[in-house]
Amino acid sequence: MRSAPFRNRFGAATTLSALLLAWGGLSFLWTPRPGAATPYYLGYLVQVLITYVLCKLYPARDVFRNACLGTAYASAVSTPIAIVLVGFEGGRLGGVDHSSMVTAISIAACLGVISVLYLVSDKDMSKSMAALLLSSMLAALFLTFAKTTSISLVAAGIVYALIAPGSLGQRIARIALLATGLTLALLVAASKIADYMNRAAASGADTLTGRTILWVQTYSQIVYGPFMRGNGLLAFREIGPVPFHDVQRLVHAHNDFLTVWFNFGMVGVVLAFGAYFALAFRSLQAMRRGGGAIAALTLCVIVFWLADGIASASQVMTDFPVQWLLLFDCLVSTYLAGALRGAAPKRSSIRGV
């Protein structure tokens, strides 16, 4: 007997992200160096299209689970590879002056943590395997000393501990576990934190190591430029401000909002952050209809990327990768469509929600 065909759904977040991608393509008409931006845009677009096609061909839960499995295992092995191939500089994995290396390693670790959380809640990974993988990912965060990324993950973790489904006792246990882990991490990193604070005081802690200067200069260029349509894809790395004498070029403004505004204008800001909040709204709807762990995790992911975007950005599109936004939107929207029809998806369709 043939089973009923799956019917995946997408919400407004996917539509807004698609419009942002289209707007980015249109910006080739005015971007400073369209030839240099082309491979970045095409590579990003192909990744998003592959994600979309997979969501159309297979059940949402299966696509999401496999994406999480691949990310979890890949992230777990990235730390030993980085130690061998990238190495340490100034006691920091990735190097003091190579922030792109630090960001790549730390973001991979955070995506791995998020993936493991889903796999455990969905009963697709044992807790012992999760603990083994998480040890490598958390080691990556500790060794890179990626401050913004780590703080963002902690903020997302607090939200998850509070809103994830479970009894009062389970919530208390999650909060206690998070508090214990954070306390131990702070104790182990105490000397590193003190050393960083001393160096930051000498190099301008009052400007967040130069970030506020960069933000002010970026804002000035935005308001005196084409602030509605922006300067175009990858424009920041070509014509953005460089307030530091020892840096030849910056690829983004170290702020998601300002980078999107600089490159894609206010049109891009509305589309990008509209997608974030549209996904958050759908997640809240799903939680009210018994969406469980996946709805809670989606909200935590949004908290993570909004917090991380305060001091980080992507040179191509948004700090929140469109591929992952699309995956979360598909999973939540598919669940919600079933709930709105009065019949939540079966366990075999979307497990753990």
Top pLDDT among 145 and 191 is at 145
Over residues 258-287, the pLDDT tens digits come to 999 999 999 999 999 999 999 999 999 888
Domain boundaries, the chain: 12-338
What pLDDT sits at residue 249?
A: 79
- CA distances from residue 126 to 11, 116, 122, 139 in whole angstroms, order as listed: 31, 10, 10, 20
| 261 within 8 A of 319, measured Cβ to Cβ | no
Distance, C-alpha 205 to centroid of its chain: 26
Location of structure tokens 């300067």:
231
Residue 198 predicted with pLDDT over 80: no
pLDDT, tens only, 32-75: 989 989 999 999 999 999 999 999 999 988 999 999 999 999 99
- The 8-class DSSP code of residue 99 comes to H
- Identify the residue with better confidence: 143 or 299: 299
Question: pLDDT > 70: what percent of the chain?
Answer: 85
Handedness of CA 265, 267, 272, 277 (dihedral sign): positive
Which amino acid type is present at position 264? F
**How far lies 38's CA from each of 14, 96, 191, 313, 348, in Å?**
22, 30, 45, 19, 41
Output the six-digit token pair for 298. 């989606």
**What is the band of 18 on the pLDDT scale with cuts at 50, 70, 90?**
very high
Stated pTM of the model: 0.87
For 57, half-sphere exposure in the C-beta direction (CA atoms, 13 angstrom radius) is 7
Nearest to 112 by CA among 78, 159, 148: 78
Identify the pLDDT of residue 187: 74
